Chains A and B, each alone.
Chain A
Amino acid sequence: DIQLTQSPSLLSASVGDRVTITCRASQGISSYLAWYQQKPGKVPKLLIYGASTLESGVPSRFSGSGSGTEFILTISSLQPEDLATYYCQQVTSYPLTFGPGTKVDIK
């Protein structure tokens, strides 16, 4: 199975800050990575797929980059509504696996 790690596990930032979350895979997965946002009490929402393609309707302040084993989710200007936990998921092969999540808190 492909294991994913995320750093940091908890991030506290101010409105307007640039925020980056890193996801690392235990083996190369090309660009077969998705990012999800999960707000408290809700199910996950797809933000980015193919490592860098923004899902329709997702604000442009979100962006993704990387390939192989290291990937980054960037929020260019953090907004209050971005309070959530963010998960990466490898979608290259079964079993599908998720990272442990990064909780983003607003200072």
Chain B
Amino acid sequence: QLQLQESGPGLVEPSETLSLTCTVSGDSISTTSYYWGWVRQPPGKGLEWIGSVYYSGSTYYNPSLKSRVTVSMDMSNNHFSLILNSVTAADTALYSCARQGYRSYYMDVWGKGTTVTVSS
């Protein structure tokens, strides 16, 4: 059974770097059939796609975050990661990782999410 689990600091100081990892169990992230992506949701607001990565290393990012975000894969540890630089209070959100179809792009399996607060 496929499971995704986010991990990382719950509190990040303004101007610092947010770093999260999504550990995948029950399947290999090196599959050709899926992308692996990140979505966030600020408190009381809607969903925002952040970025996605494919086993080949190809990445796609939300233009609104592109200058600050990196999504990468670690196949040896079967996880993928999110780095967001120069964070502000506006980056406070529930961050979720998800499996995303290669041809269809919909997100069919999600982690439980992790809350990140940006504050000093």
Closest to A48 in B: B106
In chain B between 16 and 69, which residues have their CB closer than 8 angstroms to a CB of chain A?
37, 39, 46-49, 52, 60-63
- Of A87, A91, A94, which is within 8 A of B47 by CB? A87
Name which of B7-15, B72-80, B81-89, B107-115 contacts chain A. Answer: B107-115
| Contact between chains at A1 and B63 (CB < 8 Å) | yes
- Of B46, B94, B106, which is within 8 A of A100 by CB? B46
Q: In the bound complex, what is the Cα–Cα distance between A98 and B96 (angstroms)? A: 15
> Number of contacting residues on B, CB 8 A?
23
Chain A binding surface, main DSSP class: loop
Chain B binding surface, main DSSP class: strand
Residues of B with C-beta under 8 A to A38: 47
Nearest-neighbour CB distance to chain A for B93, whole angstroms, equals 12
Residues of A with C-beta under 8 A to B107: 34, 36, 44, 46, 89
| Interface set of B (CB-CB < 8 Å, partner A) | 37, 39, 46-49, 52, 60-63, 94, 96, 101, 104-108, 110-113
| Interface set of A (CB-CB < 8 Å, partner B) | 1, 32, 34, 36, 38, 43-46, 49-50, 55, 87, 89, 91-92, 94-101
| A and B contact pairs by CB, cutoff 8 A, 19 listed | A36-B47, A38-B47, A43-B112, A44-B96, A49-B104, A49-B106, A89-B47, A89-B107, A94-B52, A94-B60, A95-B60, A95-B63, A96-B105, A98-B46, A98-B48, A98-B49, A99-B46, A100-B46, A101-B46
